[in-house]
Amino acid sequence: MDTRVAEGVDEPVAEAAAPARGVGAVLLAGGLVGAVVSLLLLRDELALLADPTFVPSCSVDPVLSCGTIMKTWQASLLGFPNPVIGLVTFPVAAALGALVLGGVALPRWTWWGLQAGTTLGLLFVHWLIVQSLAVIHALCPWCMVAWVAVIGMFWAVTVATLRAGHLGGAPAPLRGHGWGLAAWYLAIVVAIVATFPAWAAGLVGR
């Protein structure tokens, strides 16, 4: 007999038992890293708005140039600096990750929210990637750190929700999924190298 049922635990809550704590670690680490880089970006963007001659800390060369990106409309898609979005969302992800890592069984609706949030973040990140490579022709080092964090969190949450059946249907026993994430990151690296071949060759030759 299921002891959880015998103890009167609600079925939805019982079904929402915490998955492997690995997803908690990814959310905690990704959320903290994302919050830090968002704060750094917002600090530099506000400084640039106050002083057009200011050189952001992540402007290294003509390609790795946060300043170039910060001066575009894409850097304030919703009418305010994009890093503000990160400062609001990344700490939430980190807090939920800490709960999961601590063994707390989040209710199913929380996983739905995490899935929706990371999916929206993923779409936004890939829009920024396309804009950086195809339109602005510059890269932001701190932004790329955020890209890695968001993609990793989306992947971890998706795998966790599918494994636990939080999205509906039977739990999916996923295995070897790490290769998919590695291929995803590699595809972005290849896109960057293809967009800036001379710059990439210069990095290798240094």
CATH assignment at residue 14: 1.20.1440.130
Decide if 197 is inside a domain. Answer: no
Range of the domain at 76: 9-175
Which pLDDT score, from 0 to 100, does residue 204 have? 79
Q: Is residue 185 helix, strand or coil?
A: helix
Decide if 204 is inside a domain. Answer: no
pLDDT tens-digit readout, 4-57: 444 444 444 434 344 568 899 999 999 999 999 999 999 999 999 999 999 998
Range 100-115 average pLDDT: 91
Total domains in the fold of the chain: 1
Residue 17: both structure tokens together:
């038992």
Decide if 196 is inside a domain. Answer: no
Decide if 59 is inside a domain. Answer: yes
What CA–CA distance (Å, rounded) separates 146 from 125?
8
What CA–CA distance (Å, rounded) separates 32 from 152?
13
Cα-based angle 138, 148, 140 (whole degrees, multiple of 5): 20
Decide if 155 is inside a domain. Answer: yes
What CA–CA distance (Å, rounded) separates 47 from 35?
18
Residue 109: both structure tokens together:
């609706």
Residue 75: both structure tokens together:
């850097």
pLDDT tens-digit readout, 125-164: 999 999 999 999 999 999 999 999 999 999 999 988 888 7
Decide if 95 is inside a domain. Answer: yes
Exposed (0-12), middle (13-18) or buried (19+): which is 125, by Cβ within 10 Å?
buried
CB 69 within 8 A of CB 113: no
Which pLDDT score, from 0 to 100, does residue 176 have? 58
Decide if 184 is inside a domain. Answer: no
47 strand-pairing partners: none
Computed over every residue of the chain, the mean pLDDT equals 87
Decide if 123 is inside a domain. Answer: yes
The pTM for the full model equals: 0.86
